[in-house]
Each structure stands twice: as C-alpha cells, then as structure tokens.
C-alpha cells in the first residue's frame, strides 16, 4: 500500500477536516460581519431560525444581528471581535463548539471597553453548509481599558493605513489590494 492510498480512514479524516474548516469560516464570517457592519455577512453565519443569547441581548438571528450592529454603531467608533482557542465536537450534521473571544471597543464616551469570554455554539449542517443554530455568549470579564496615549507622531504613523471603516468601504474589501502611493 502506498502512502498516497485513499483509505476509508483518510477519506473520513479529510471529510472531518473539511467540516472543521467550514465551521471556522462560519465563525470568521460572524466576526468580520459584526466588525465591518456587514449585515449580510454576519447573517450568513446563522441559520434564519437560529437563536443568540448574548447576555446583553438575545433573539433570533436577524433581530440579534440588527441589534448588535446598531448598538456598536451608536456607542462605539471602532471595535474588534477576536477569536482564539476553539474546540469542536462533531456528531454527524451537528457540532458543538466552544470558542474563546477577546473584544475591544473604542467607546464614543469614556475609555475603551475590553472584554473576554467564550462563544458556546451548536452548529448544524444543512444542505452541505455549516451555520450557527444556537449561541450562548459566556461573558467572563469586561471592563474599561485605560490606555496610555502615544506621542502624536507615533499615532500618525501607526494609523495612516486604511481607511479604517465599519462598512464595505473598509480597505479589507478593496480588490485588488494594491500599494498606495
């Protein structure tokens, strides 16, 4: 038997890795969607009948997405949802995941918010596509980040790339990405 043989075990492994990859992409659609205020992208992470229990708000997918984008737009000028450690249990067309998150938000009033927690999700695969069916956001810690300001020259150099936007005019949507002059 050669190392390149497609054994049943290898085929099962590749299928499992594909499912894990697709679920990771679902999580990234959520974070990019909320941070760029891209309603369609954020909604694509959820099944239409999904439910999100976020602590500060809860509801079916569309209502929660509208609330989240509206809240961030009203109270913050910039924000980032960063996902980290991720564990996943696959069981056919259902999966249960736990994903650690870090959240930073520049508040319109007062110092920035820094929060840590976990997304506990039930994913379902329907017609070959993985999405969130139910989410519980476990907020572990949240507080205000007391930043130490950099000198103006340093800030100007750090923040000259962009534009930093929360819509489809953000540089991350630019195609093709080219060197600015």
Distance CA 68, CA 57 (A): 8
pLDDT digit string (tens) for 32-76?
999 999 999 999 999 999 999 998 899 999 999 999 999 999 999
1 pLDDT exceeds 60? no
pLDDT digit string (tens) for 132-162?
999 999 999 999 988 777 888 887 777 677 6
pLDDT digit string (tens) for 90-140?
999 999 999 999 999 999 999 999 999 999 999 999 999 999 999 999 999
Distance CA 167, CA 82 (A): 18
pLDDT at res. 152: 85
Give the lowest-confidence range in 10-19, 90-99, 113-122, 168-177. Answer: 168-177
Enumerate domains of the chain plus CATH numbers.
Answer: 8-173 (3.10.450.50)
C-alpha 134, offset from chain centre: 15
pTM of the model: 0.88
């Amino acid at each position: 038997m050669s190392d390149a043989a497609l054994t049943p075990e290898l085929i099962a492994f590749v299928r499992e890795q594909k499912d894990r990859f697709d679920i990771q992409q679902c999580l990234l659609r959520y974070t990019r969607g909320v941070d760029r205020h891209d309603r369609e992208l954020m909604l694509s992470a959820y099944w239409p009948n999904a439910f999100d229990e976020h602590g500060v708000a809860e509801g079916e997918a569309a209502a929660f997405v509208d609330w989240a984008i509206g809240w961030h737009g009203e109270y913050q000028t910039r924000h980032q949802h960063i996902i980290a450690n991720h564990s996943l249990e696959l069981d056919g067309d259902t999966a249960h995941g736990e994903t650690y998150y870090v959240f930073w938000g520049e508040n319109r009033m007062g110092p920035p918010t820094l929060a840590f927690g976990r997304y506990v999700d039930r994913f379902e695969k329907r017609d070959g596509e993985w999405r969130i069916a139910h989410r519980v956001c476990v907020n572990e810690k949240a507080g205000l980040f007391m930043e130490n300001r950099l000198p103006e020259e340093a800030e100007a150099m750090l923040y000259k790339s962009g534009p930093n936007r929360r819509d489809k005019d953000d540089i991350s949507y630019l195609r093709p990405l080219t060197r600015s002059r």
